[in-house]
Amino acid sequence: MIKFVASIGRTVLAILASVGRISTYVGQTLMHMVRGPFYVKEFLQALLSIGYYSLPVVGLTAFFTGGALALQIYSGGARFSAETVVPSIVAIGMLRELGPVLGGLMVAARVASSVAAEIGTMKVTEQIDALVTLSTHPMKYLTVPRVLAATLSVPILVGVGDVIGIMGGYVVGTTRLGFNPATYLHNTVEFLEFWDVASGLVKGAAFGFIVAVMGCYYGMNSGRGAQGVGQATKSAVVASSVMILAANYLLTEAFFSA
């Protein structure tokens, strides 16, 4: 019995220690963001690889999700003779929840893994030590550009994904469910409010921050060898995905609980 309780205690302590280390890392990242030097070239490269190259996967995810959502809402709404709400619910669902969350998760899978693997490999091949001996702070050179790029580009990705997701619903609605195209578009826009759009974009920024910080943190703390880098990559994806879902709940509470 004591062994069982001790094992729970060890796990809890390990989790708390991990939370403490990640919080410290986030604090250091924020501190380095406001103090130079700032590496513009690395920031632009990160913007390209995190933002631009994630567009296809986020766009495809949004398109199919929008289409499936239209089918589900039509089928569910038919039980209450409420099929006409499909355009509005697709739009609200994509903008508030599915666009940012699925976009964030896709970016987590693509970006957190590659960032953790890249930085982890740099660590085990002593490239991080080399940066230090070349008078370059690894946080400023590796972490800050990636975190800034993800925080700025993921909301844009989410915005584009929202539009593509709504288009997915539109295509299914007008080709499969018999909606009039003009009416569908009118109903999509008619009931939207400012915070439907803004909340999704704020969530995107928060998710981008989480993904990049987790990728960098686990990369910087990678263990030795291929196994260490593999473990760091897996941990980065798992941690960022869980944190995205938790942050999504908290942000939804903050925006819409009243």
Partner 1 sequence: MIILDNVHKAFGPNKILQGVNLTIPKGESMVIIGGSGTGKSVTLKSVLGLVTPDSGTISVDGINVLDADRDAFLARFGMLFQGAALFDSMPVWQNVAFRLLRGSLKRPRDEAREIAIEKLRRVGLKPHVADLYPAELSGGMQKRVGLARAIAADPEIIFFDEPTTGLDPIMSGVINDLIREIVVEMGATAMTITHDMTSVRAIADRVAMLHDGVIQWTGPVKEMETCGDPYVDQFIHGRAEGPIEAVR
- 81: region left, alpha or beta (phi > 0 left; psi from -120 to 50 alpha): left
Q: From CA 20, how far away is CA 145, in angstroms rounded?
A: 23
The burial class, CB within 10 Å (0-12 / 13-18 / 19+), for 171 is middle
Q: From CA 234, how far away is CA 129, in angstroms rounded?
A: 24
Of the pair 113, 241, the CB lying nearest partner 1 is at 113
**Please, what is the minimum distance in Å from the beta carbon of residue 129 to partner 1?**
6
Of the pair 126, 190, the CB lying nearest partner 1 is at 126
Of the pair 24, 75, the CB lying nearest partner 1 is at 24
**Please, what is the minimum distance in Å from the beta carbon of residue 136 to partner 1?**
7
Of the pair 19, 130, the CB lying nearest partner 1 is at 130
SS3 content of the chain, % helix, strand, coil (to 5): 90, 0, 10
87 and 173 Cβ atoms separated by less than 8 Å: yes
171 and 182 Cβ atoms separated by less than 8 Å: no
**Please, what is the minimum distance in Å from the beta carbon of residue 27 to partner 1?**
20
Residue from 16, 29, 38 nearest 147 by CA: 29
Q: Which residues bind partner 1 (CB under 8 A)?
A: 37, 39, 122, 125-127, 129-130, 132-136
**Please, what is the minimum distance in Å from the beta carbon of residue 127 to partner 1?**
5
Of the pair 24, 84, the CB lying nearest partner 1 is at 24
**Please, what is the minimum distance in Å from the beta carbon of residue 59 to partner 1?**
27
**Please, what is the minimum distance in Å from the beta carbon of residue 46 to partner 1?**
11
Q: Which residues contact 256 (CB under 8 A, 6 or more apart)?
A: 96, 195, 199
Q: From CA 165, how far away is CA 184, in angstroms rounded?
A: 14
Of the pair 108, 122, the CB lying nearest partner 1 is at 122
**Please, what is the minimum distance in Å from the beta carbon of residue 132 to partner 1?**
6
Q: From CA 180, how far away is CA 189, in angstroms rounded?
A: 15
Of the pair 45, 183, the CB lying nearest partner 1 is at 45
